[in-house]
Amino acid sequence: MGMKLAFTGDICFGDVEEFTDNPFKNIVAQLSEFDCVVNLEAVFLPKSYTEDPIKQKLCLRQHDETIAYLKKINPFLVNLANNHINDYGDFGANNTIEQLELAGLRYFGAGYDHQNHNVFISEKAKIMFLSYVTRGTDLTGSVLFNEADLIGPKEFSFELVEQQIRDCTDYKKIVLLHWGAEDLHYPLPEQREVAKKLVDMGIDLIIGNHPHVIQSFEQYRGKWIFYCLGNFFFPNFVLVKKKRVYRDIHSKERKITIVPVFDVNDQGITLYKIYTIAANEKFEPRLVDKEIRHNVLLVEHQKLYGLFYKFYLLYENRKLRSQLGLPMRIAKALTLRQVKLLPIGVLPKRELDQQRDDTANSWPELEIKYAKMLRESNRTERRHLYVEAYSTVSELRGSNMPEETEKRTAGTSEALVRSLIHLCKPGDHILEIGCGRGYTCLKLAPHATSIVGTDISAPVLNEARELLQETQISNVKIQKAFAHELTDNFGKDTFDKVISIDVYEHLHPEDAVTHLSEVYSVLKPGGEYIVVTPNRLTGPHDVTSDVFPDAKEPLGFHLNETTYGELVQQMKYAGFARFCSVTRCPSILPVAFAMVYPSRLTIWLEKRYSKVKDDSFMGRWYKKAIGRIFLIARKY
């Protein structure tokens, strides 16, 4: 049985009533001729719903009644695989699914990790639809993919695609990908490589979305690849969250989209027509007589295309600078940030191996290379990469360290340790995450009942164990454990205090969210999490400045530098309460001492710091006051 399939770009109704009461009136007649597959970019929520989203970014929503607009174009299938489906947690995702079911609309692309929710099969037409999302679509580090207890999309990987299509040789296979860099009109060189490999694996059609503008499209081995279709319906959007206003005001380029239509029959999938659509002042899509040229500058030679892409980014830098009146360095940072940090997470294994085998001349360069791989890895890959990266760099770094044990292990200042001693009680059972070479465990041992130190670097763990053997300390145990896998190792309600010094910033943003929940789990009621981590506002604090002095963001192992305000907010989501900041004990005092005060004061200082110059007296004072986060959070 044949059918004509039409694919639309992103749909978000948002504040639709402010612009129109019939968004699809100019296009519904044309779309009614086809079976439409639409990309729904926002969740449905009741008008009365006032809870904040679970993510610290621009989050998309639309009220339940707007589903009536979607029903008017009678979509054949609604794709939910995008970076906004769990903006409002399981409530938003479940409510969206419920509204679609009540409206009698087919959907796929979102669910829990044990479900095969990203696959939809049309038995009559013998078509298999698959939908995936890449990590690069959300650079804030928010939770994104499906988990055991969180609805979300499937993370793209070649292995998952191969597994899901293995037994479907008789079906035509269409992959819908949420990927790419926003507002850029050409796909990343890596995207083209990924798309071609998918075709080589047997995929018959690839449809991409997320950048909000039309990107080029091409044929490879007779199969069509559309990198992005643009926005189909997406009015200007305003979100007020915790007194902060997020705005999404669309450019002219975001108001143009294409709708490709394909003939699907027993002979395969062939392109029937491409409709060009532009939004009017009310954001209502309407047909326009304009042909979009599809393969301009998509040269076959990958290295040549990579060279073109560098010049294209330079052009985008200058355009942004001209439009906003920005200094060139800021325009460049805005344009390149998502490209440099865009972990498509799908490069072939041979390329990862090549990066790993490309030996660095020094440990800072090696750290930066491993950090790039960690940023671009998925959770499964990262588990092994953490161990490899930190063990390799620690071993290389250790060859340049002093021979004396005390000097090799004194990564934590005496002032900090004295403050920790003041905060601990003799009966405490303590867990130190990221114990390194054991210096802090050694110093805290006389002031606690028991201490467990954890790390993942083999050379570091060995040195810590040797140190404890030399000092014959009996109430300290050293073991390997991941910072985001604590409950399985230690059980619930086990420790009175959990301490992490310069660990949180090393966690991938995804793992940091899990880490806070795990710490909450292993703490006894009334227990405290003491975290010390550098403040992003005064960074970068890793090896970045040694290799790239002008860099403004960490490029080394600090994957997750944060601020007092952000950390407190994330801890609240994990369940913690009563947050206090700590001023370290001066070394000149004869007794251990630490000044503890409400963290609200430090958060206020952070806000003031942004208004002063770094080189002024007040700037230097603020920087000293907030430069290193020292925070206590309590479990109730």
**What is the model's pLDDT at position 544?**
80
Q: Lowest mean pLDDT of 50-64, 193-207, 277-291, 313-327, name the range.
A: 313-327
**328 pLDDT exceeds 80?**
no
The answer for 325, left when phi > 0, alpha when psi is -120 to 50, beta otherwise, is left
Give the homologous superfamily in CATH for domain 3-289+301-312. Answer: Metallo-dependent phosphatases (3.60.21.10)
Distance of CA 489 to the CA centre of its chain: 26
Helix, strand, coil percentages, rounded to 5, for the chain:
35, 25, 40
Query: What is the end-to-end Cα distance of the chain in Å, rounded?
Result: 61
Quote the CA–CA distance of 212 and 234 in Å, as a whole number.
Answer: 9
- Identify the burial level of 464 via C-beta atoms within 10 angstroms of its C-beta, where 0-12 means exposed, 13-18 middle and 19 or more buried: buried
Secondary structure element (H or E) that encloses residue 262, with its range: strand 256-265
Mean pLDDT of 285-312: 79
Q: How many CA atoms lie within 13 A of 607 on its CB side?
A: 8
Q: Are 284 and 275 in contact (CB under 8 A)?
A: no
User: Sorting pLDDT into bands at 50, 70 and 90, what band is 244?
Assistant: very low
- Predicted structure pTM score: 0.56
Return the domain boundaries, the chain: 3-289+301-312, 405-634
Q: What is the pLDDT of residue 353?
A: 41
Q: What is the mean pLDDT of residues 226-230?
A: 95
Task: Give the pLDDT mean for 420-430.
Answer: 91
Tokens of 365: 């360069």
User: Exposed/middle/buried for 149, CB within 10 Å: 0-12, 13-18, 19+?
Assistant: exposed
Kindly state the tokens that stand for 389: 């990266």
Confidence of residue 530 (pLDDT cuts 50, 70, 90): very high
**Cis-peptide, bond into residue 211, ω within 30° of zero:** no
Give the model's confidence band at 265: pLDDT under 50 very low, under 70 low, under 90 confident, else very high.
very high
- Span of 146-150, 391-395, 459-463, 552-556 with lowest mean pLDDT: 391-395
pLDDT at position 157 is 92
Look over the chain and give the mean of its residue pLDDT values, rounded to a whole number. 83
Question: 315 falls in which pLDDT band (50, 70, 90)?
Answer: confident
Distance of alpha carbon 408 from alpha carbon 195, whole angstroms: 48
Measure the CA–CA gap between 73 and 69, rounded to whole angstroms.
Answer: 7
C-alpha to C-alpha distance for 560 and 450, rounded to whole angstroms: 30
Q: 405-634 in CATH: which number?
A: 3.40.50.150
Q: Report the candidate in 310, 341, 557 with the shortest Cα–Cα distance to residue 456.
A: 557
pLDDT at 608: 80
Burial of 60 (0-12, 13-18, 19+ CB in 10 A): buried
